[in-house]
Amino acid sequence: MNAAGLGQPVRRVEDLRLIRGHGRYTDDIATLEGAAYLCVVRSPHAAARIVSIDVTEARQADGVIAILTPDDLRQEAFQPFPTRVKRVRADGTPNLATDYYPLALGAVRHVGEAVVAVIAETMNQARDAAELVQIEYDATDAIVDMAGAVEPEAPRVWEHHPDNVCFELRAGDRTHAEALFACAAHVVTQRFVISRVGTNSLEPRAALGSYDPRTGRYTLYAGLQSPHMIRQELATILGIPVHQLRVVAPDVGGAFGMKGSLHPELVLVLWAAKLTGRAVRHTADRSEGFLSDHQARDNVSDVALALDAEGRFLALRVDTIANLGAFVASNGLHAPTNNIGGLAGVYTTEAFDVRVRGVFTNTVPTCPFRGAGRPEASYCIEMIVNKAARVLGLDSAELRRRNMIAPSAMPYATPLVFTYDSGEFEAVMDKCLSAADWAGFEARRRDAAARNRLRGIGIATVIEIAGGPPDRPFEEYAEIRFDASGGMTILAGSHSQGQGHATAYHQMAAELLGMTGDEVAVVFGDTDLVAHGRGTFGSRTMMAVGTSFVRASEKIIAKGRRIAAHLMDAPEEAIGFIDGSFVVSGTNRGMSLREVAKAAFVPRLMPPDMEIGLQAAANVALEKSTFPNACHICEVEIDMETGERGLVAYHVVDDVGTVVNPLMLKGQIHGGVAQGAGQILDELIVYDGQGQVLTGSFMDYGMPRATDLPPIHVLSHPVPTTTNPLGVKGAGEAGTVGALPAVMSAFMDALAPLGIEELDMPASPFKLWQVIDNARRAAGADASAVVPV
């Protein structure tokens, strides 16, 4: 086994550079001389008509180079922002589209919408001039509440649309589900509200654009998840051939889905660069991000589970309203719809009746966020299963056990979209139950009660799709290129935002080609250097890039074998490839791959009629997605008198297929759990009734801190998939998918002795104190009467 190969706990090759401050993020790029600064004038209203714009005084301000207004935009032939996912309305017509442009045209539809762009010599000069822009608005009624947005009398976000419903998606078998509900011994129902959150990536959104009038070519530097995809979309907006735009994504300090979307500033810096003849940069500050970064989650679901007398799941009904915000973002229709198959969970439920309605409101557009609909789906099924266990008086693990899909049933076609290729769900759960000492929990609950604290335990057995939608192939580009010194460069279409891709690529190079350490360089994120790419999203990189890397490696070995046979004067069929070397069978003669690569650049050493050099590329389409699954168990404690709360234990057992790197896997799970737990504990974007953002800074928006999290114990139970040559299933979003239901279930278990059955996220100390106080008042008793001791 190669010490640096697959499955080894290799430390990340990126980390020394980054922790020493040698990262190169968009705002660090200073190679473009004379870059000007762009400041956006944003709407203070959630809904208003633009009456007039006066930039006379602003144009005369110190340092101002140019000002872009909606009138200027009308003079251009720009196309509106495209959308990647299409849906239909209830009547079968296409989903309602929105005219999403880099500046507002005629009206504004959310607080923070871009109206005017000011370009100046310095950022402070741009900001000062922006304050001199005079805009007269005629405010109109706003709608912020997504449930209220579907009402006939609700104000219209888009006045030319008949209502605020963008699309309606139905899935499952409604008739069959209704019949099963009618004969069910038990029906458990509840409404689940999943809060709106911000991405809050460590690196804010930033963009730097330039234009070369000699070639008519644009260059954009920006922290992006999908440089090639964004290039295609920006070229369409600008009305230029794709080759006239280069997109470079340098180091990216966190993305999580938000940086996979088009934002107005990406167009504005390119437009401004062409008009001014200067490079133009924009970097959002944190407050600007709260007003303009695409946000996430934000839906409400009415869920009903039908069970027979023995607790077997018969049918699940889910009716969801998803808040899209004011515009359909690039991937805005993905999160509410593409992952509803996750509602099937790991269970043998017979029928489903699912409806999802996407609605417009006067809020910032929403986009995928780590998990992209999978945490929401898992939350609905896992929370209703836990409630059913309480209603039936069953242990929640035992209720799951009665309904789990058996390994012998694989591949298993659920009645809701997905077909699982592999998994040992009960074994995963049992391993987690043991690690978390599930059987000993009641003693810990009694100990907490003696300290006047409520202790709860929550479990979630979750599954998600990884790779791509199940209805179409997904692919990624990988190229292996040797130079004349024998050094190797890997070019990948998938771009890292902190996941450790370069480390994984190094491990693949070591495992498949025997190339290690300084022999290997990695390139990604530059559309001029990498021929093709889809990008990083959906926990797909190790599946997609990994498969193409395997195919490219096979091509390298095949050509290298011919060269080695020629150099060692041996039959090609006698040449084997072992641990990075070509060897002649039955002899001690051999050549390393690096030696062969060097020879490949010397024409006189090459076989006749063979192309000089050694390189290979592959862009393989995978036909099947994979289904990572896990069991999460969380324990919490709540102070009865103050509502102060904390996570006191957390265990995860994950099946992500072949584990490429155990250290990086644990890091991914830890980060995902932190984001999921953060949403349950504190995170919440709040709008008032007029659409004003009340959580405009970290003074108001709670983020998880290190002190909020206990040690997170991560164990693996890998069941390799056969759908790709590495057997990997995807791990990037797994932690978040399980954390939402596990953490909230723990709080609900803690509150159950008080008769509390509902609690919306976030579970803040004040909210917990309120529900505990209300329960005590309703019971007319003190803690000793309602808390087990």
DSSP string, 164-193: SEEEEEEEE-HHHHHHHHHT-SEEEEEEEE
Domain match, 527 and 644 both = no
Note whether residue 525 is domain-resident. Answer: yes
- Element at 48 (helix H, strand E): strand 48-54
Domain match, 604 and 725 both = no
Structural domain count of the chain: 3
Domain match, 118 and 264 both = yes
Which residues have CB under 8 Å from 659's CB, separation 6+? 7, 665, 716, 718
Angle of CA points 65, 71, 72, to nearest 5°: 45
Note whether residue 186 is domain-resident. Answer: no
| Domain extent for 239 | 33-143+203-292
pLDDT of the residue at 468: 76
pLDDT over 90 percentage in the chain? 91
Three-state DSSP at 749 gives: helix
Note whether residue 408 is domain-resident. Answer: no
Angle of CA points 146, 338, 113, to nearest 5°: 45
Domain match, 688 and 585 both = no
pLDDT of the residue at 623: 87
At 638, the amino acid letter reads I
Domain match, 120 and 245 both = yes
pLDDT of the residue at 90: 93
Last residue of a domain, one of 275, 292, 309: 292
Q: Kindly report the backbone phi and psi dihedral angles of residue 761, in degrees, each rounded to the nearest multiple of 5, phi listed first.
A: -70, 150
User: Cα separation of 725 and 714, whole Å?
Assistant: 25
Domain match, 612 and 672 both = no
Note whether residue 510 is domain-resident. Answer: yes
For residue 781, what are the CA distances in angstroms to 303, 667, 699, 772, 787? 32, 45, 37, 11, 10
Question: How long, in residues, is the chain?
Answer: 789
CATH number, residue 129: 3.90.1170.50
Note whether residue 195 is domain-resident. Answer: no
Q: Is the distance from CB of 117 to CB of 39 less than 8 angstroms? A: yes
Domain match, 557 and 639 both = no
| Low pLDDT (below 50) residues in the chain | 783-785, 788-789
Residue 709 CA neighbour count, 13 Å, CB half = 20
Domain match, 761 and 700 both = yes
State both tokens at 734.
């797994």
Last residue of a domain, one of 604, 622, 640: 622
What are the strands, taking DSSP E only, across 109-147? 114-120, 134-139
Q: Is the distance from CB of 351 to CB of 388 less than 8 angstroms? A: no
CATH number, residue 711: 3.30.365.10
- Considering the entire predicted model, what is its pTM? 0.95
Note whether residue 515 is domain-resident. Answer: yes
Note whether residue 54 is domain-resident. Answer: yes
Domain match, 735 and 665 both = yes
pLDDT of the residue at 467: 86
Q: Is there a cis peptide before residue 411, judged by omega within 30 degrees of 0? A: yes
User: Cα separation of 85 and 23, whole Å?
Assistant: 34
Bridge partners for 171 per DSSP: 354
Bridge partners for 191 per DSSP: 302
Q: What is the DSSP string of 9-44?
A: -PPPTTHHHHHTT----GGG---STT-EEEEEEE-S
pLDDT of the residue at 32: 64
Last residue of a domain, one of 584, 604, 622: 622
Domain match, 115 and 74 both = yes
Domain match, 608 and 641 both = no
State both tokens at 254.
């966190």
Domain match, 644 and 603 both = no
Note whether residue 389 is domain-resident. Answer: no
For residue 332, what are the CA distances in angstroms to 225, 258, 355, 371, 381? 15, 10, 17, 14, 23
